[in-house]
Amino acid sequence: MAQDKKVEAITARDVDFAQWFTDVCKKAELVDYSSIKGMFIYRPYGYAIWENIQRLMDAEFKKTGAENVYMPMLIPESLLQKEKDHVEGFAPECAWVTMGGSEKLEERYCIRPTSETLFCDHFHDIIHSWRDLPKMYNQWCSVLRWEKTSRPFLRHREFLWQEGHTMHATAEEAREETQRMLEIYAKFCEDVLAMPVIRGRKTDKEKFNGAEETYTIECMMHDKKALQSGTSHYFGDGFAKAFDIHFTDKNNQQAYPHQTSWGASTRLIGGIIMTHGDDDGLVLPPRIAPVQVVVVPVAQQKEGVVEAATGLYNTLLEAGVRAKIDTSDRSLGWKCAEYEMRGVPVRVEIGPRDMAEGNCCLVRSDTGEKTVIKSVELTETVRRLLDDIHANMYAMAKKNLDENTFDLNTWEEVKEMIDTKGGFAKTKWCGALECELAMKEKAGVSSRCMPFAQSGTTGKCPVCGKECTTDIYWGVAY
Amino acid sequence: MAQDKKVEAITARDVDFAQWFTDVCKKAELVDYSSIKGMFIYRPYGYAIWENIQRLMDAEFKKTGAENVYMPMLIPESLLQKEKDHVEGFAPECAWVTMGGSEKLEERYCIRPTSETLFCDHFHDIIHSWRDLPKMYNQWCSVLRWEKTSRPFLRHREFLWQEGHTMHATAEEAREETQRMLEIYAKFCEDVLAMPVIRGRKTDKEKFNGAEETYTIECMMHDKKALQSGTSHYFGDGFAKAFDIHFTDKNNQQAYPHQTSWGASTRLIGGIIMTHGDDDGLVLPPRIAPVQVVVVPVAQQKEGVVEAATGLYNTLLEAGVRAKIDTSDRSLGWKCAEYEMRGVPVRVEIGPRDMAEGNCCLVRSDTGEKTVIKSVELTETVRRLLDDIHANMYAMAKKNLDENTFDLNTWEEVKEMIDTKGGFAKTKWCGALECELAMKEKAGVSSRCMPFAQSGTTGKCPVCGKECTTDIYWGVAY
A328-350: per-residue pLDDT in tens? 999 999 999 999 999 999 999 99
Q: How far is B101 from chain A (nearest CA, A)?
A: 5
* Same-domain pairing of A257 and A178: yes
φ, ψ for residue A297 (rounded to 5)? Answer: -75, 145
Chains A and B: how many Cβ contacts under 8 Å? 143
At A228-247, the pLDDT tens digits run: 999 999 999 999 999 999 99
Cβ contacts of B141 on chain A, cutoff 8 Å: 142
Of the pLDDT bands very low, low, confident and very high (cuts 50, 70, 90), residue A86 is confident
In this predicted model, what pLDDT tens digit does every residue of B270-291 receive, in sequence order? 999 999 999 999 999 999 999 9
Q: Taking CA atoms, what residue in B is nearest to A41?
A: B71
Of A93, A101, A121, the CB nearest to B35: A121
State the CATH number of the domain containing residue B452. Answer: 3.30.110.30
The separation between the first and the last C-alpha atoms of chain A, rounded to the nearest angstrom, is 31
**CB-based contact A36 B72, cutoff 8 Å:** yes
Q: Do B68 and A76 touch (CB under 8 A)?
A: no
Tell whether B266 and B121 lie within a shared domain. Answer: yes
CA dist A229 and A217 (Å) reads 6
Question: By C-alpha distance, which of A472, A89, A366, A354 is closest to B101?
Answer: A89
CA distance A68 to chain B (A): 6
For residue range A107-157, what is the model confidence (pLDDT) as tens digits?
999 999 999 999 999 999 999 999 999 999 999 999 999 998 999 999 999
Query: At residue B4, does pLDDT exceed 90?
Result: no
Q: Are residues B385 and B444 in the same domain?
A: no
Given CB atoms, is A94 within the 8 Å cutoff of chain B?
Answer: yes
Confidence band, pLDDT 50/70/90 cuts, at residue B1: very low
Of A50, A51, A92, the CB nearest to B101: A92
Cα(A476)–Cα(A423) distance, integer angstroms: 8
Phi and psi based region of residue B19 (left: phi greater than 0; alpha: psi -120 to 50; beta: remaining):
alpha
Cα distance between residue B43 and residue B51, in whole Å: 12
Strand residues in B277-317 grouped as ranges (E):
293-297
Judged against a pLDDT cut of 80, whether residue B438 lies above it is answered with yes
Return the CA Rg of chain A. 25
Last residue of a domain, one of B246, B276, B306: B276
CB-CB contact of A138 with A161 (8 Å): no
Q: How confident is the model at residue A8 (pLDDT cuts 50, 70, 90)?
A: low
Could you tell me if B65 lies within 8 Å of chain A, comparing CB atoms?
Answer: no
* Interface contact B142-A70, CB threshold 8 A: yes
Residue B158 at interface with chain A, using a CB cutoff of 8 Å: yes
Confidence at residue A4, expressed as pLDDT on a 0 to 100 scale: 43
On whether the CB atoms of residues A240 and A167 are closer than 8 A, the answer is yes
Does the CB of B133 have a partner CB in chain A at under 8 Å? no
The answer to whether residue B357 neighbours chain A at the CB level (below 8 Å) is no
Write out chain B residues lying below 8 Å of A146, CB-based. Answer: 100-101
Cβ of residue A135 closer than 8 Å to a chain B Cβ: no
Please tell me the distance in Å from B141's CA to the nearest CA on chain A.
8
Residues from chain A contacting residue B44 (CB–CB below 8 Å): 67-69, 137
Q: Does A460 touch chain B (CB under 8 A)?
A: no
Q: Is residue B463 part of a domain?
A: yes
- B123 min Cα distance to partner chain A (Å): 11
The Cα A223–Cα A422 span in angstroms is 8
- B376: part of which helix (H) or strand (E)? none
What pLDDT does residue B92 have? 87
CB atoms A125 and B32 under 8 Å: yes
Q: Which residue type does A267 have?
A: R
Residue contact B99–A108, C-beta within 8 A: yes
Percent of chain B with pLDDT over 90: 94
Distance CA A376, CA A378 (A): 6
Q: Is A317 on the interface with B (CB under 8 A)?
A: no
Closest CA to B223 of B280, B187, B277: B277
Per the structure, the complete domain to which residue A459 belongs is given by 405-475
Pair (B161, B134) in one structural domain: yes
Q: What are the C-alpha distances in Å from A338 to residues A18, A332, A370?
A: 21, 10, 17
Q: Are B40 and B304 in contact (CB under 8 A)?
A: no
Substitution target from B93, B97, B106, B143 for chain A, most A beta carbons within 10 A: B97
Q: Say yes or no: A241 and A316 in one domain.
A: no
B91 pLDDT band (50/70/90 cuts)?
A: confident
Picking from A65-74, A76-85, A286-295, which range would have the lowest pLDDT averaged per residue?
A76-85
What are A178-235's pLDDT values in tens digits? 999 999 999 999 999 999 999 999 999 999 988 999 999 999 999 999 999 999 999 9
Is residue A96 domain-shared with residue A149, that is, in the same domain? Answer: yes
Residue B125 domain-assigned (yes or no): yes
| Cross-chain Cβ contact A44/B137 below 8 Å | yes
Same domain as A109, residue A154: yes
Of A276, A308, A338, the residue at which a domain comes to its end is: A276
Looking at the partner chain, which of B94, B97, B160 has a beta carbon nearest the beta carbon of A95? B97
Write out pLDDT tens, residues B22-35. Answer: 999 999 999 999 98
A417 and A383 together in one domain: no
The answer to whether residue A1 scores a pLDDT higher than 70 is: no
Interchain contact A96–B (C-beta under 8 A):
yes
Taking an 8 Å cut-off on Cβ atoms, the answer to whether A121 and B51 are in contact is no
Please choose, from the candidates B362, B327, B331, the residue with its C-alpha nearest in 3D space to the C-alpha of residue B348: B362
pLDDT average, residue stretch B143-167: 96
C-beta of residue A452 within 8 angstroms of C-beta of residue A199: yes
Kindly identify which residue of chain A lies nearest to residue B89, measuring between CA atoms: A101
Q: Pairing between strand A213-220 and A198-201?
A: antiparallel
Residue A7 predicted with pLDDT over 50: no
CA atoms within 13 A on the CB side of A5: 1
Q: B44 vs A144: CB contact, 8 Å cut-off?
A: no
Q: In this structure, what CATH number is given to the domain that contains residue B309? A: 3.40.50.800
In a domain, A457, yes or no: yes
pLDDT digits (tens, 9 = 90+) for A361-396: 999 999 999 999 999 999 999 999 999 999 999 999
Mean pLDDT of chain A: 96
Give the pLDDT band of residue A85 (cuts 50, 70, 90): confident
SS (H, E, C) chain A: CCCCHHHHCCCCCCCCHHHHHHHHHHHCCCEEECCCCCCEEECHHHHHHHHHHHHHHHHHHHHCCCEECECCCEEEHHHHCCCHHHHHHHHHHCEEEEEECCEEEEEEEEECCCCHHHHHHHHHHHCCEHHHCCEEEEEEEEEECCCCCCECCCECCEEEEEEEEEEECCHHHHHHHHHHHHHHHHHHHHHCCCCCCEEEECCCCCCCCCCCEEEEEEEECCCCCEEEEEEEEEEECHHHHHCCCCEECCCCCEECCEEEEEEEECHHHHHHHHHHCECCECCCCCCCCCCCEEEEECCCCCCCHHHHHHHHHHHHHHCCCCEEECCCCCCHHHHHHHHHHCCCCEEEEECHHHHHCCEEEEEECCCCCEEEEEHHHHHHHHHHHHHHHHHHHHHHHHHHHHHCEEECCCHHHHHHHHHHCCCEEEEEECCCHHHHHHHHHHHCCEEEEEECCCCCCCEECCCCCCEECEEEEEECEC
Q: What is the pLDDT of residue B3?
A: 42
Residue A399 resides in a domain: no
Contact B72 A108 (CB under 8 A): no
pLDDT, residue B8, reads: 55
> Is A49 touching B (CB cutoff 8 A)?
no
User: Do residues B169 and B250 touch, judged by C-beta distance below 8 A?
Assistant: no
Which strands form A370-374's sheet, in the order they lie side by side? A323-325, A293-297, A346-350, A359-364, A370-374
Quote the minimal CA–CA distance from A78 to chain B in Å: 10
Residue A284 counted as domain residue: no
- Tell me, yes or no, whether A388 and A412 share the same domain: no
Nearest to B160 by CA among B188, B140, B139: B140
ipTM score above 0.90: yes
Nearest Cα of chain B lies from the Cα of A94 at a distance, in angstroms, of 5
Residue ending a domain, among B389, B423, B445, is B389
Identify which of A51, A92, A99 has the shortest CB distance to residue B96.
A99
**CB of B97 within 8 Å of any CB in chain A?**
yes
**pLDDT the model gives residue B107:** 95
Task: Answer yes or no: do A313 and A201 share one domain.
Answer: no
Query: Are B70 and A41 an interchain contact pair (Cβ–Cβ within 8 Å)?
Result: yes
The fraction of chain A above a pLDDT of 70, given in percent, is 98
Query: How distant is the Cα of A305 from the closest Cα of chain B, in angstroms?
Result: 23
| CATH number of the domain residue A133 falls in | 3.30.930.10
Flag if A34 and B72 touch (Cβ within 8 Å).
yes
Residue B244 in any domain: the answer is yes
Note whether A387 and A419 are same-domain residues: no
B129 touches chain A (CB under 8 A): no
Let me know if residue A117 belongs to a domain.
yes
Q: Alpha-carbon distance B434 to A107, whole Å?
A: 42
Domain tally, chain A: 3
Q: What is the pLDDT of residues B318-358, one digit of tens each?
A: 999 999 999 999 999 999 999 999 999 999 999 999 999 99
Q: Indicate the residue type of B34.
A: S
Is residue A398 in some structural domain? no
CA distance to partner chain A, nearest, from residue B282 (Å)? 19
Same domain, B103 and B233: yes
